Amino acid sequence: MRVGVVGAGTMGTGIAFVCARRGHHVLLMDQNEGILERAKSDLQEMLERERQKDRITPQEQEQIEQSIEYVQELDVMAGQEIVIEAVSEEIDLKKRIFQQLAAICSESTLLLTNTSSLSITEIAAGCLHEERILGFHFFNPAPVMPLVEVVRGMKSSGTNIQRAVQFAKDLGKIPVVVENTPGFIVNRIARPYYNEALKILEERVTTFDQIDQIMTKAGGFKMGPFALQDLIGIDINLATTQTVYTNFFQEDRFRPSRIQQQMVEAGRLGRKSGEGFYDYHK
């Protein structure tokens, strides 16, 4: 299939890899030439690793590399059968992109947004043929995480939901279907794992490292909530919580934590800044 990916950041690059790896012809688009260059070298590196691990032959590696085109204009998406948007989480930017895509692509083109937190209904509103605009939420890192949330906007049609579900399966992913609600399934139901752990810390029931130990050893979770926040990025985690909280109109269950806020203020964002709840300088 001819697949378009809009936005060549980490998620867009990962999604392009997943599609190309399954034999789709991919147009990877980003206005920023530097980002596009980096995406190209990242993709080549990912494919090289696949070959080294004998998951693909050198011939397949070459074929896949040639099946990815790097473009800077959105207009070239006109001929694609499926377009996946993975730009930064800015509602106005996404709305603009979908208005344009809906105008240039054929009405049967499936238009998918990889948003993790914005409303599909809002992104699609006013676009031509809103029924083919859906959420298609990959998890980071996209080549590794098996789940895709297929999100039904208010006007998304059942047929197109089925097409998206089938497309996810063809990509070797596990699709789940969810209504357009804040945080969809995962980012909503995972909230208490962080929020309640933070509340317990705030109440000084015990320390953060003890909480991590309890959740892994008593609960069987792979990573404790604080080690996981450090991995995700405390700023990213707080932003997700704030979005879900705002979109549920300040439902108390999703209230962000002062501790997280202060960590972000202090620039202690987790592994990426060298220090979060744990110190990574050592």
Q: Which is nearer to another protein, 58 or 220 (CB)?
A: 220
Please pick, from the candidates 79, 146, 172, 274, the single residue that binds another protein as defined by CB under 8 A: 146
* 143 contributes a contact to another protein by CB under 8 A: no
Q: Which is nearer to another protein, 73 or 218 (CB)?
A: 218
Please pick, from the candidates 9, 71, 122, 139, the single residue that binds another protein as defined by CB under 8 A: 139
* 158 contributes a contact to another protein by CB under 8 A: no
Q: How many residues bind another protein (CB under 8 A)?
A: 44
Check: CB of residue 141 under 8 Å from CB of residue 165. Answer: no
CA distance linking residue 233 with residue 230, whole number of Å? 5
Tell me the three state secondary structure of residue 71. Answer: strand
- Residues annotated as catalytic (active site), given as ranges: 116, 137, 149, 187
Q: What is the dihedral of CA 111, 112, 117, 119, to 10 degrees?
A: 30
Check: CB of residue 138 under 8 Å from CB of residue 148. Answer: yes
Q: Which of residues 15-74 bind another protein (CB under 8 A)?
A: none
Please count the other Cβ atoms lying within 10 Å of the Cβ belonging to residue 98: 24
279, exposed or middle or buried, with CB in 10 Å at 0-12, 13-18, 19+? exposed
Helices in 89-203 by DSSP H: which ranges?
A: 91-104, 120-124, 158-170, 186-189, 191-202
Q: How far is the CB of 187 from another protein (least distance, A)?
A: 9
State whether the Cα torsion 269-14-140-145 is positive or negative.
negative
Q: How far is the CB of 224 from another protein (least distance, A)?
A: 10
Please pick, from the candidates 53, 107, 204, 249, the single residue that binds another protein as defined by CB under 8 A: 204
Q: Which is nearer to another protein, 53 or 222 (CB)?
A: 222
Q: Which is nearer to another protein, 128 or 177 (CB)?
A: 177
Q: Which is nearer to another protein, 69 or 179 (CB)?
A: 179
65 half-sphere exposure, CB direction, 13 A CA radius: 19
Q: What is the CA radius of gyration of the chain?
A: 20
Structure tokens given for 53: 């691990």
* 252 contributes a contact to another protein by CB under 8 A: yes
* 145 contributes a contact to another protein by CB under 8 A: yes
* 259 contributes a contact to another protein by CB under 8 A: no
Please count the other Cβ atoms lying within 10 Å of the Cβ belonging to residue 131: 16
Strand 68-71 and strand 82-85: the pairing is: unpaired
Q: Which is nearer to another protein, 222 or 282 (CB)?
A: 222
- Which x/- pattern, by CB under 8 A, does the window 159-198 give for another protein? ---------------x-xxxx-x--xxx-xxxxxx--xx-
* 236 contributes a contact to another protein by CB under 8 A: no
Check: CB of residue 4 under 8 Å from CB of residue 83. Answer: yes
The site for another protein (CB under 8 A) is made up of: 139, 145-147, 149, 174, 176-179, 181, 184-186, 188-193, 196-197, 200, 203-206, 210-211, 213-215, 217-223, 225, 251-253, 255
